[in-house]
């Protein structure tokens, strides 16, 4: 009888759970997770009173646990919802910063054009009198064409400026020679001689060069800000891999199931989880940084004198008219020699006395705007430098508030199985490196095509900015729907154009680490299974019962 009682006592001792936050030999209650689970909005009555065997678990480690299958499923759903909400919050600051930069630059550009037009109207009315009064639409159309190009790009700047100087020459020529009209053949001949005879001096060539360079750069710079913001929104809307949510769930809520509510993830553990989850996003880094660098270069080397170019347009036009006035006799002689004499009844003398009432130069009236623009572009460039490493910084940003830190944190953090040191190394960035990720199973042969489309868009925009550095506006034409897809809405028609399909090669080789991917491998340096002494005691109990 004594032996029977002894055997029962030994069996009872074997059924007591021997693991938990502190490895206690007593059965652990689930009161902590009951409160936690209720605080998350779930029903507390589904939580066990004491720890149960965890063979039913599919995400968390299968040791003794306070979580049922139902609880594990609800926590997995909660993980997905919270992660998606976190991503929405993470994209807002960068999107807001890019939107503010876009509006600041665009507002200043529009203000410059409006001020330039006001300067022209105020000075030309008094300086060029009848000529301006009769032909004010010509100048208004020039400014409207410049606005249309800046807003939509559907204007050929060189053609617009050439047409402006041709029409202006015609109007001045009529007025100076007191003519109502000339024949079409004569008019065409005069138009062809504008460039060769330099009738307006160097002003047309100088103004065309400056305006083309400035407006191409300004429009590309603004479009780059728009594209950047759109890419952030689209990329962070791409759903994460379901295995990623399981990995985050294991990292975030499984410690509660194991009776370790205060255990925070190990820093390297969290980093590996997030690098696996955002492997496709990290592949944007190369083209994203190229875009930022090129925009900074455009801002520093092509927009440094933007305000002086735009505000000096009235002065350049006026100086061209003064040049023609001073050389009208010589100009008439050259035109008569090249195109023939005027029709009978035309006057060959200058009629500029009827045009201008006061020969005075138009002032630039910059009023400190150069400093304002320089500060604006400088501030935007600072933000561009800050956003440059954004995509490869996401894992650390997402882990910053949730990982264990402080003295002894490396030995007392949650490593996915227990409270102990995390042994695997931190893997590299990007999809190619995820072949060795020990936390998230990623198929590196299947990149996310939506993100690859955005990488192509970044490359297209960078090429456009590089052309803008050289004063060229390349209109990319996309003859297929492979890049943007149907209804992608990457950017509005008035701000950017679609580009050709570009192949972005993977230049980084995957790194091989000492720790291979593991599925159910135990990482803890402290065993959390039933003590091995139980196996030794079991034959003894059987022997006693047989007696």
**Domain ranges (residues) in the chain:** 87-342+370-433
Nearest of 43, 38, 62 to residue 52 by alpha carbon: 62
How crowded is residue 71: how many other Cβ atoms within 10 Å of its Cβ?
23
CA distances from 358 to 116, 117, 132, 201, 352 (A): 21, 20, 13, 21, 11
Q: Cα–Cα–Cα angle for 178, 182, 186, nearest 5°?
A: 125
Provide the pLDDT for residue 509: 37
Rounded Cα–Cα distance for residues 185 and 187 (Å): 5
C-beta separation of 263 from 414 below 8 A:
yes
Rounded Cα–Cα distance for residues 76 and 59 (Å): 9
What does pTM read for this prediction? 0.77
Q: What is the 3-state secondary structure (H, E, C) of 447-469?
A: CCHHHHHHHHHHHHHHHHHHHHH
C-beta separation of 403 from 266 below 8 A:
yes
Rounded Cα–Cα distance for residues 395 and 386 (Å): 16
Provide the pLDDT for residue 343: 58
The tokens describing 157, both together, are 């700047």
Residue 178's region, left for phi above 0, alpha for psi from -120 to 50, else beta, is left
Looking at residue 470, the DSSP 8-state letter turns out to be: T
- Give Cβ neighbours of residue 357 (< 8 Å, ≥ 6 apart): 126, 127, 129
Which residue bears the tokens 């300004």?
Answer: 218
Rounded Cα–Cα distance for residues 329 and 101 (Å): 52
Provide the pLDDT for residue 323: 86
How crowded is residue 546: how many other Cβ atoms within 10 Å of its Cβ?
7
CA distances from 191 to 159, 164, 172, 333, 345 (A): 13, 11, 12, 15, 22
The tokens describing 310, both together, are 């735009």
* Residue 52 bridge partners (DSSP): 65
Q: Tens digit of pLDDT per residue, the chain (547 long)?
A: 454 444 444 444 444 443 444 444 456 899 999 999 999 999 999 999 999 999 999 999 988 999 999 999 999 999 999 999 998 888 899 999 999 999 999 999 999 999 999 999 999 988 888 888 888 999 999 999 999 999 988 889 989 998 999 888 888 877 777 665 667 777 778 777 766 777 788 888 899 999 999 999 999 999 999 999 999 999 999 999 999 999 999 999 999 999 998 899 999 999 999 999 999 999 999 999 999 999 999 999 999 889 999 999 999 999 998 888 888 788 778 878 888 776 544 444 455 555 555 444 455 454 555 566 677 888 999 999 999 999 999 999 899 888 887 777 888 899 999 999 999 999 999 999 999 899 999 999 999 999 999 999 999 999 999 999 988 887 633 333 333 333 333 344 333 433 333 333 333 433 433 334 444 343 444 434 334 444 444 444 444 444 4
How crowded is residue 244: how many other Cβ atoms within 10 Å of its Cβ?
23
- Give Cβ neighbours of residue 410 (< 8 Å, ≥ 6 apart): 266, 267, 404, 421, 422
CA distances from 73 to 39, 42, 60, 117 (A): 17, 12, 11, 65
Rounded Cα–Cα distance for residues 486 and 484 (Å): 7
C-beta separation of 203 from 316 below 8 A:
yes
C-beta separation of 55 from 228 below 8 A:
no
**Where do runs of H (alpha helix) occur along 327-445?**
328-339, 369-387, 390-399, 409-412
Q: What is the 3-state secondary structure (H, E, C) of 484-498?
A: CCCCCCCCCCCCCCC
C-beta separation of 245 from 76 below 8 A:
yes
The alpha carbons of the chain give a radius of gyration, in whole angstroms, of 37
Nearest of 94, 90, 100, 96 to residue 379 by alpha carbon: 100
């Amino acid at each position: 009888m004594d032996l029977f009682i002894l055997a029962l006592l030994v069996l009872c001792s074997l059924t007591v759970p021997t693991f938990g936050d502190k490895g206690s030999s007593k059965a652990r209650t689930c009161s902590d997770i009951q409160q936690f689970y209720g605080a998350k909005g779930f029903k507390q009555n589904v939580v066990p009173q004491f720890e149960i065997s965890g063979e039913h678990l599919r995400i968390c480690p299968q040791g003794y646990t306070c979580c049922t299958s139902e609880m594990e499923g609800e926590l997995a759903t909660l993980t997905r919802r919270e992660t998606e909400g976190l991503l929405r919050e993470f994209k807002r600051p960068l999107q807001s910063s890019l939107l503010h930069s876009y509006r600041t630059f665009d507002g200043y550009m529009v203000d410059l054009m409006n001020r330039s037009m006001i300067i022209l109207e105020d000075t030309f009315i008094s300086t060029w009198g009848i000529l301006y009064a009769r032909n004010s639409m010509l100048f208004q159309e020039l400014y409207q064409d410049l606005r249309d190009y800046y807003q939509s790009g559907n204007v050929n700047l060189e053609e617009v400026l050439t047409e402006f100087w041709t029409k202006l020459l015609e109007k001045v020529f009529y007025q100076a020679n007191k003519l109502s009209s000339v024949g079409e053949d004569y008019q065409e001949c005069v138009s062809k001689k504008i460039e060769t005879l330099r009738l307006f001096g160097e002003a047309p060539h100088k103004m065309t060069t400056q305006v083309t360079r400035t407006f191409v750069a300004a429009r590309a710079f603004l479009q780059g800000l728009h594209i950047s913001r759109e890419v952030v929104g689209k990329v962070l809307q791409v759903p994460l891999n379901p295995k990623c949510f399981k990995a985050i769930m294991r990292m975030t809520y499984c410690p509660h199931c194991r009776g370790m509510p205060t255990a925070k993830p190990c820093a390297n553990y969290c980093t590996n989880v997030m690098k696996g989850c955002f492997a496709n996003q990290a592949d944007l880094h190369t083209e994203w940084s190229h875009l930022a660098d090129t925009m900074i270069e455009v801002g520093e080397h092509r927009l440094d004198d933007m305000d002086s170019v735009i505000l000096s347009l009235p002065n350049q036009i006026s100086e061209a008219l003064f040049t023609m006035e001073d050389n009208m006799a010589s100009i008439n002689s050259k035109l008569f020699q090249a195109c023939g004499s005027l029709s009978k009844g035309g006057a060959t003398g200058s009629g500029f006395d009827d045009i201008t009432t006061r020969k005075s130069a138009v002032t630039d009236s910059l009023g400190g705007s150069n400093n304002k623009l320089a500060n604006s572009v400088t501030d935007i460039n600072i933000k561009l430098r800050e956003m440059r490493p954004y995509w490869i910084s996401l894992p650390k940003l997402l882990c910053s508030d949730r990982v264990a830190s402080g003295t002894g944190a490396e030995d007392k953090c949650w490593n996915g199985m227990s409270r102990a040191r995390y042994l695997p190394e931190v893997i590299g960035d990007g999809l190619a490196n995820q072949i060795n990720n020990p936390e998230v199973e990623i198929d590196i042969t299947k990149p996310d095509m939506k993100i690859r489309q955005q990488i192509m868009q970044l490359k297209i925009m960078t090429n456009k900015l590089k052309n803008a550095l050289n004063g060229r506006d390349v209109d990319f034409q996309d003859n297929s729907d492979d890049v943007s897809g149907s209804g992608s809405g990457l950017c509005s028609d008035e701000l950017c154009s679609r580009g050709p399909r570009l192949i972005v090669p993977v230049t980084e080789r995957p790194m091989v680490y000492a720790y291979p991917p593991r599925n159910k491998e135990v990482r803890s340096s402290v065993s959390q299974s039933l003590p091995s002494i139980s196996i030794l005691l079991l034959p003894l109990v059987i022997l006693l019962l047989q007696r």
